[in-house]
């Protein structure tokens, strides 16, 4: 899709347009993945946001429309786990009425088998499913709620049957837990038309106790797959694509590697993020957001809100992954379950 005049005029301090919007619609999740919501932090007694503090579906739709007017062309719904929020199909239907907006969603797949067709019927275009291993023991160690692999695979099958294709599968790779699952994942989805994206373990938030030694690098991941399957690199689909693409030379499709730690892509980042209580963040690793919910609920016009967002974006200078160090990685940051990854 060609860039519009609005996307060309709204640039940050590093010349990056705003093109992608990620919207966390809830901070709740039914998993306790060790890299996102570890039980020692998000265990019994943890207080999630009350419904009144979340953006309403009307507010989310209004904001998405304003961002579309500023050049955003893709909106992704995230969480927490977005499918645990009631009547999400209604929100998708509302968002699908915004002209020119590519609408997608990321889910852990636990509720997908039941909801895939309704999501498609409501106007969802594409879906990404998180799956960190095909081995139940390893997957349980990652999600920490003993959720079975088979139910996630059933959700993936239902999404494909509903036409939410190509289904993308995200696998976060953490050393000492699931690096031995990399090749089995590649082999399992080879030839299916689905696209696996292997993600370097990142220091999003502070709850996951991130350590550089836990990172399985993109080079290691590609090496594991390339030693068993014939692969070659492929050019990006568009400017700002986060995954580095590889294709199987035998026609078995492709996979991607997201290497935020070892191969930062800050220079082409076009993403804005709205967290589950309506704060705007200009970086996944940010510590402070800008309150849009208050603007929405105080009678501000669309023009007022658009001008506020534009001013925030034009002042944006974030490039955390390029300057990551032992000091920055320990700095307070918004948690992944809140900002949506």
Whole-model pTM: value is: 0.93
Predicted confidence at residue 180, as pLDDT, reads 97
Report how many domains make up the chain: 1
Predicted confidence at residue 7, as pLDDT, reads 43
Name beta bridge partners: 209: none
- Most distant CA atoms of the chain, gap in Å: 59
pLDDT bucket at 157, cuts 50 / 70 / 90: very high
Over residues 31-58, the pLDDT tens digits come to: 999 888 889 888 888 999 999 999 999 9
pLDDT bucket at 333, cuts 50 / 70 / 90: low
Question: DSSP assignment of 262-331, as one string?
Answer: TS--GGG--EEEE-TTSEEESSTT-S--EE-HHHHHTT--HHHHHHHHHHHHHT----HHHH--TTGGGS
pLDDT more than 70, % of the chain: 94
Predicted confidence at residue 4, as pLDDT, reads 40
Over residues 90-148, the pLDDT tens digits come to: 999 999 999 999 999 999 999 999 999 999 999 999 999 999 999 999 999 999 999 99
CATH of the domain at 132: 3.20.20.70
Retrieve residue 198's tokens: 């292997």
Predicted confidence at residue 319, as pLDDT, reads 85
Residue 205 has pLDDT above 80, yes or no: no
Residue 328 has pLDDT above 70, yes or no: no
* Residues 6 or more apart whose Cβ sits within 8 Å of residue 49: 26, 27, 276, 277
- Please answer whether residues 173 and 201 qualify as being in contact, where contact means their C-beta atoms are separated by less than 8 angstroms: yes
* Residues 6 or more apart whose Cβ sits within 8 Å of residue 280: 272, 273, 274, 289, 290, 291, 292, 309, 312
pLDDT more than 90, % of the chain: 76
Closest CA to 186 of 121, 231, 235, 241: 231
The per-residue pLDDT of the chain, averaged, comes to 92
Mean pLDDT of 215-238: 95
Of residues 59 and 328, more confidence is placed in 59
pLDDT bucket at 213, cuts 50 / 70 / 90: confident
| Alpha carbon of residue 28 to chain centroid | 15
Of residues 158 and 340, more confidence is placed in 158
SS3 content of the chain, % helix, strand, coil (to 5): 35, 20, 45
Three-state DSSP state, 45:
coil
- Domain around 126: 5-339
Over residues 294-322, the pLDDT tens digits come to: 999 999 999 999 999 999 999 999 887 77
Of residues 284 and 173, more confidence is placed in 173
Count of all residues that appear for the chain in the document:
341
């Amino acid at each position: 899709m060609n860039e519009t005049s609005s996307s060309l005029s709204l640039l940050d301090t590093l010349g990056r347009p705003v093109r992608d919007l990620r919207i966390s619609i809830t901070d709740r999740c039914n998993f306790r993945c060790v890299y996102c919501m570890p039980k020692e932090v998000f265990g019994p007694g943890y207080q999630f946001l009350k419904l009144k503090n979340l953006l309403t579906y009307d507010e989310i739709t209004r904001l998405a429309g304003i961002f579309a007017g500023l050049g955003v062309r893709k909106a992704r719904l995230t969480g927490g786990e977005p499918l645990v929020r009631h009547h999400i199909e209604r929100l998708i239907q509302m968002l699908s009425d915004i002209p020119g907006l590519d609408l997608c969603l990321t889910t852990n797949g636990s509720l997908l088998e039941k909801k895939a067709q309704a999501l498609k019927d409501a106007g969802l275009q594409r879906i990404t499913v998180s799956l960190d291993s095909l081995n139940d023991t390893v997957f349980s160690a990652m999600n920490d709620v003993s959720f079975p692999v088979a139910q996630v695979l059933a959700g993936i099958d239902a999404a494909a049957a509903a036409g939410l294709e190509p289904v993308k599968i995200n696998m976060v790779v953490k050393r000492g837990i699931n690096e031995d699952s990399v090749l089995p994942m590649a082999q399992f989805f080879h030839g299916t038309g689905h696209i696996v994206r292997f993600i370097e373990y990142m220091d999003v938030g502070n709850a996951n106790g991130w350590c550089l030694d836990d990172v399985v690098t993109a080079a290691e991941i590609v090496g594991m797959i390339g030693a068993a399957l014939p692969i070659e690199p492929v050019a990006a689909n568009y400017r700002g694509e986060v995954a580095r693409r590889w294709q199987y030379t035998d026609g078995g499709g492709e996979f991607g590697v997201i290497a935020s730690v070892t191969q930062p892509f800050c220079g082409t980042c076009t993403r804005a993020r709205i967290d589950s209580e309506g704060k705007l963040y200009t970086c996944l690793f940010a510590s402070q957001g800008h309150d849009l919910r208050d603007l929405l609920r105080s009678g501000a016009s669309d023009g007022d809100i658009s001008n506020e967002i534009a001013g925030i974006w034009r002042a944006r200078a974030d490039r955390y992954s390029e300057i990551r160090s032992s000091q920055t990685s320990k700095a307070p940051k918004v948690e992944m379950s809140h900002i949506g990854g």
